């Protein structure tokens, strides 16, 4: 370092000001080169893309995946050993709209938490219930655990019923729109996509299912297999009948538009018959409220004054 300074002093003379100027110029040059390299690295598209790929590779798992992984040990406590029962729960979760790979683990994990936490809450609340004996407290804790066991199953059944009700409500409109789109010249996949776009606001659940069918077709899945997947995901008999009709139509090479129109007319007749059947059952269903609520009030209003008059007459005769 001293040799370098001596050489610089010989080059610029004995002036300290010249040495300071040379050092400042070198520092400015180094800073400029560093900033230039940093900015060029930020603006380089190749390096930016590599950074994105590395960040995607090191990305943390989603919240649901992390939660399912943390609940795996607890979920094993209530997971049934029967493969048929596990498949039944997976099918119900799919019918309810939960198609994630972690849905079953989350369901059983939450179920196990309810079974464990609710009895614990009852035991922690025992100081607030001093009149309960130990046996009664344990019975309440067992009842809370059983309530947590059945509450999750009831919630899942309600979710399935609610989603199927929404799908059933939107299916007639979807069928009519599909008939119009196919008869206007669109293919099956574009027709399903157009129907999904039209129903996205009024019936989002059905639009999501139809969009998924179209996505599977574009991904290379056979049309028959994609339609069968639709019937399996929804679990509705009406959609299952339509998908079976479309599969047979594509197998035999007949007109899809004509087959859909025939099915639409049959489905409309079926809905009319179902409405007439419900209307015919109204008379039978009205018997119980009439007998239990209306008839007693009617007899009280009509016969009550006469009964009061008879009581007064007999009381006068008695006196």
CA distance 137 to 132: 6
Least confident of 67-81, 101-115, 196-210, 300-314: 67-81
Least confident of 44-48, 139-143, 154-158, 223-227: 44-48
Q: pLDDT tens digits, residue range 10-29?
A: 544 544 445 445 545 555 55
Q: Is 38 exposed, middle or buried (0-12, 13-18, 19+ CB in 10 A)?
A: exposed
Residue 195 has pLDDT above 80, yes or no: yes
**Alpha-helix runs per DSSP H in 44-102:** 45-57, 63-70, 72-75, 83-95
Least confident of 74-78, 201-205, 274-278: 74-78
CA distance 147 to 143: 6
CB within 8 Å of 61: residues ≥ 6 apart? 69
Chain-centre distance for alpha carbon 119: 29
Cα–Cα nearest to 140, from 124, 119, 125: 119
Mean local confidence (pLDDT), 120-133: 81
Place of tokens 């059945």: 150
Mean local confidence (pLDDT), 66-74: 68
Residue 160 or residue 318, greater confidence: 160
CB within 8 Å of 238: residues ≥ 6 apart? 168, 171, 267
pLDDT grade for 40, boundaries at 50, 70 and 90: low
pLDDT grade for 56, boundaries at 50, 70 and 90: very low
Supply the pLDDT for residue 35: 52
Supply the pLDDT for residue 19: 44
pLDDT grade for 219, boundaries at 50, 70 and 90: confident
Supply the pLDDT for residue 60: 46
Residue 92 has pLDDT above 70, yes or no: yes
* pTM metric for this prediction: 0.66
Residue 4 has pLDDT above 90, yes or no: no
Residue 58 has pLDDT above 50, yes or no: no
């Amino acid at each position: 370092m001293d040799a370098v300074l001596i050489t610089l002093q010989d080059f610029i003379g004995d002036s300290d000001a010249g040495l300071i100027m040379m050092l400042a110029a070198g520092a400015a040059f180094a800073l400029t080169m560093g900033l230039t390299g940093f900015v060029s690295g930020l603006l380089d598209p190749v390096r930016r893309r590599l950074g994105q790929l590395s960040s995607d590779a090191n990305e943390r798992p989603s919240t649901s995946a992390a939660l399912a992984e943390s609940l795996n040990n607890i979920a094993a406590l209530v997971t049934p050993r029967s493969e048929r029962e596990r498949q039944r729960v997976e099918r119900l979760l799919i019918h309810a709209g939960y198609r994630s790979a972690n849905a079953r683990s989350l369901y059983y994990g939450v179920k196990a938490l309810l079974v464990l936490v609710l009895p614990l809450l009852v035991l922690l609340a025992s100081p607030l219930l001093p009149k309960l004996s130990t046996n009664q407290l344990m019975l309440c804790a067992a009842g809370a655990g059983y309530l947590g066991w059945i509450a999750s199953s009831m919630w899942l059944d309600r979710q399935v019923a609610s989603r199927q009700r929404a799908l059933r409500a939107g299916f007639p409109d979807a069928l009519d729109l599909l008939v119009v789109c196919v008869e206007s010249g669109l293919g099956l996949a574009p027709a399903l996509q157009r129907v999904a776009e039209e129903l996205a606001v009024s019936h989002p659940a059905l639009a999501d299912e139809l969009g998924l069918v179209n996505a599977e077709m574009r991904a290379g899945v056979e049309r028959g297999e994609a339609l069968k997947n639709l019937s399996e995901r929804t679990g509705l008999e009406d959609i299952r009948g339509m998908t079976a009709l479309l599969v047979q139509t594509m197998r035999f090479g007949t007109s899809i538009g004509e087959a859909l129109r025939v099915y639409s007319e049959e489905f409309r007749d079926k809905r009319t018959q179902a409405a007439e059947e419900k209307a015919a059952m109204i008379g039978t269903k009205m018997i119980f409220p009439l007998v239990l609520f209306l008839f007693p009030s009617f007899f009280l209003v009509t016969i009550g004054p006469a009964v009061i008059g008879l009581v007064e007459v007999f009381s006068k005769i008695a006196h």
